[in-house]
Structure 1
Amino acid sequence: MTHLALTRFLDERGIRVSSEERQFILQKMHSPTGEGHLYADAIFEGGGMRGLAFVGALRCCADLGLQWKKLAGTSAGAITAALLAANLPITELEEILGNFDYMKFLSRKTSPLIFNGDPRNDLRSPFRMLFCLVVARQLGQYSAEPFRNWLQQILAQQRIHSFQDIQKIKSDRQLKVVVSDISRGEMLVLPDALDPNAPALSDRHKQFRQQILSKSALQYPEQMSVAEAVRLSMSIPLFFEPGRLGDSWIVDGGILSNFPLWIYDVQPRPGQSVAPAPRWPTFGFRLVDSTIGQVSEIQGPLDVFASTIRTMMNARDRYHLREIDQGRVINLDITEASVTPTQFNLTADEKVNLYCLGYHWTKKFFLEEWSWTEHLKKRGFSPTGECL
């Protein structure tokens, strides 16, 4: 495989942030800390292989001097969030994610009876997937172990094994990963969802959480493996085998919340009517594909089933953003890349296109849409952070 130096293509295509553009954008940003750091929190949407656009987006943010505090994501977004939480610099992210052969994730089918063609088309033919799985008596076409082992190795190089290790890097660094519990029909935010002592829990939920900790040989939630949590979050139904938490089957968090922008929003303290103003923004990185929403032809029950699966994997909560959230969402339009979530056999050109699109749309957002002052106003605060 040809080695990709991704940043070279930014210069070749003339889309790199210029010094004048950088100065203009920084004038619209929040104030840096006393040490001169420009912090932000980040939430990443799921999107399978299209998530490579996040790397381009993060390069643009790095060119502006942004550094990350709290991170969260679903599916492919959880992968990005975990690598950032492990303090991997952008150059290493570009090297790792830009040059990896993603077909290695599909190196272990769950059964020799699984017959499929190009993986990019699998979600377009869910009935064929289901038929193969029924015949093979499996719950997913591919084992997720190759992926988990890959991520575990990368994180180990940063001395990250569990969620508690992330806070050893920086005490105020956080990572949250969204998964779907299809046994109980619930969304879980890891590692928080493993805490049996969380307030306002029913006895049933306390027992469930305690059971998970006991079966996983964990004393407290933060001891959970980051690689395992992300592996659970990216387990696309039928495509990858589901994972387990206690007695529950766990799949891709995107079927319940693919874009958890709300996850770090601060609620009012007891006795207060409003929440305190944020010190820095939370940016949501969202993948946009204009082909989603095109009318599907429904002629029979198989079409109903196939369209239901596609809707579940594509619609979710992406179109239900509050008006006050619009100004902090960075929409990465990857339509022209023509890449599907399960297109693990990406070509070099497709990787470059996703990367450059991510950079382009992030730069456009900061130049044309972002304003810290306007963002505070939309959320009910004055530019000084006081409640309006």
Structure 2
Amino acid sequence: MLDIKIINFKFKTMKKISLVLLLISFTGILAAQGIGLAWSGGGVRGLAHVGVLKALEEADIHISYIAGTSSGALIGAMYAIGYSAEEIEQIMLNQAWLEILDDTIYRKDYYVSQKRWLPYSNINFYFDEKYRLQLPQAFAAGQNLINLLFDFTYRAAATKDFNSFNIPFRCTATNIVTGELKVFQEGNLHEAIRASLSFPTVLKPFAIDDSLYIDGGILSNLPAEVVRAMGADYVIGVKANSYLAKQEELNTMIDVLNQTVNVNMQKHVQSSEKQCDLIIEPDLVEFKLLDFDKKKQIIQIGYNSAQKYIKQIKQHSLKPKFAKLYTPVPYKIRIADINIKGNKHLSSSKIKEYLDLSENEVYSKTEIMKAVEEVYNSKLFESIYP
């Protein structure tokens, strides 16, 4: 396997598309302060945020700012770039999330010469150059996930300033090297979300530029301070975070590790609650981090929880000067750059031949994703994503 860590496309849309996105960003921003949402992580429990959104939309409550962590970052980002609550609900319900977290490449997608060396497990161990056994960083590398996030955020691919979304947005991640909190307010949106989603042991840490990130919830699982700093004068915190397990539930190494992470998260959440004017806490005690078979039930619980506070929230809601405009999805985009890192055995030009995409050429989302999938299936590369 070649030591090629990342192939990262950086692109911009054609001028017509850029103009449309620019006009939308101007009409979607309100000068006045208003309601800000601070959304916690919590794995599948984060789908409660979708239910909260449904209740707010039904009541015609305008949101001026959103900051989210982990699953809260994913839901918040989608709403910020123009998805409706109903659209988000359908997308979340229709995803086979456990399959997405499984980065297995099926036999039919391998070259014939590779099939005899296929691993028989989704979790594989390797030896480094000095023949030392290497354990994986997590159960899932996240290759399928990063491509799915690109699909979700494709409509905002040309917008690097998160203030320019329909609703200004932030998400958090933890720099695992420095131990510092990172608040993403610009860059590639799907990369920022992927970094924020990197829950220890479940998803591999994610590299952006020269930094390595894990779940933002480690240091800020309820980013109320962040949304307050954005300008919100009424902050609603929505808690879908994990609960501490009981002693009889701590039976495995993974249980203990997750509890260790959650103890730290709880400490920071309690501090963040002081920055909230209202806290909505859906009753999600019975749900686990990966209870994906209970998605619809969790969304309904989030909806019911928000309904109790609608009258109170409406008192602080600003009426938008313009009706909410949804970002149009560009049919094709122009690839500006193809960046290759970590290549030791092949030249960059040879790697680009494998990819079969060219800089300064225009492609549809389908064409880009097909090329990415085919190159990753070669197993010559550790990671490739748009």
- Would you say same fold, with TM above 0.5? yes
Shift of 1:334: 1.5
1:203-242 maps to which residues of 2 (within 5 A)? 222=186, 224-242=187-205
Q: Which amino acid aligns with 2:260?
A: T
Contact 2:249 2:255 in 1 (8 A): yes
Q: Of residues 289, 298, 301 in structure 2, which corresponds to 1:357? A: 301
CA, structure 1 residues 103+362, in 2 after alignment: closer, same or farther (shift >3 Å)?
Answer: same
Q: Of residues 322, 325, 328 in structure 1, which corresponds to 2:278? A: 328
Q: Which residue of 2 aligns with 1:176?
A: 170
CA, structure 1 residues 265+295, in 2 after alignment: closer, same or farther (shift >3 Å)?
Answer: same
CA, structure 1 residues 80+322, in 2 after alignment: closer, same or farther (shift >3 Å)?
Answer: closer
Which structure ranks higher in relative contact order (CA pairs < 8 Å, sequence separation ≥ 6)?
2
Calculate the TM-score normalised by the size of structure 1.
Answer: 0.60
Distance 1:106 1:148 in 2: 10
Distance 1:101 1:95 in 2: 12
Distance 1:53 1:146 in 2: 23
Q: Which residue of 1 aligns with 2:67?
A: 72
Calculate the TM-score normalised by the size of structure 2.
Answer: 0.60
1:154 aligns with 2:152: yes
Q: Of residues 147, 159, 163 in structure 1, which corresponds to 2:160? A: 163
Distance 1:61 1:94 in 2: 14
1:319 aligns with 2:270: yes
What is the DSSP-based 3-state SS (H/G/I as helix, E as strand, rest coil) of the residue aligned with 2:282?
Answer: strand
Q: Which residue of 1 aligns with 2:78?
A: 83
Cα shift readout 1:34-76 (whole Å, capped 9, x = no counterpart): x9x9952211101111111111111001111012222111100
Shift of 1:280: 5.2
CA, structure 1 residues 100+359, in 2 after alignment: closer, same or farther (shift >3 Å)?
Answer: same
CA, structure 1 residues 316+79, in 2 after alignment: closer, same or farther (shift >3 Å)?
Answer: farther
Distance 1:239 1:74 in 2: 16
CA, structure 1 residues 286+247, in 2 after alignment: closer, same or farther (shift >3 Å)?
Answer: same
What is the DSSP-based 3-state SS (H/G/I as helix, E as strand, rest coil) of the residue aligned with 2:240?
Answer: strand
CA, structure 1 residues 115+304, in 2 after alignment: closer, same or farther (shift >3 Å)?
Answer: same
What is the DSSP-based 3-state SS (H/G/I as helix, E as strand, rest coil) of the residue aligned with 1:256?
Answer: helix
Q: Which residue of 2 aligns with 1:30?
A: none
CA, structure 1 residues 323+69, in 2 after alignment: closer, same or farther (shift >3 Å)?
Answer: closer
RMSD: 3.7
Distance 2:254 2:47 in 1: 32
Q: Which amino acid aligns with 2:234?
A: P
Q: Which amino acid aligns with 1:332?
A: P
What is the DSSP-based 3-state SS (H/G/I as helix, E as strand, rest coil) of the residue aligned with 1:259?
Answer: coil
Q: Which amino acid aligns with 1:283?
A: I
> Identity of counterpart residues, as a percentage?
22
Cα shift readout 1:361-386 (whole Å, capped 9, x = no counterpart): 1112335x65858xxxxxxxxxxxxx
Contact 2:172 2:183 in 1 (8 A): yes
Q: Which residue of 1 aligns with 2:55?
A: 60
Q: Which amino acid aligns with 2:279?
A: V
Q: Which residue of 2 aligns with 1:94?
A: 89
Distance 2:60 2:68 in 1: 22
Distance 2:252 2:239 in 1: 33
Shift of 1:187: 0.9
Q: Which runs of 5+ in 1 are unaligned?
A: 1-34, 117-128, 192-221, 268-277, 374-388
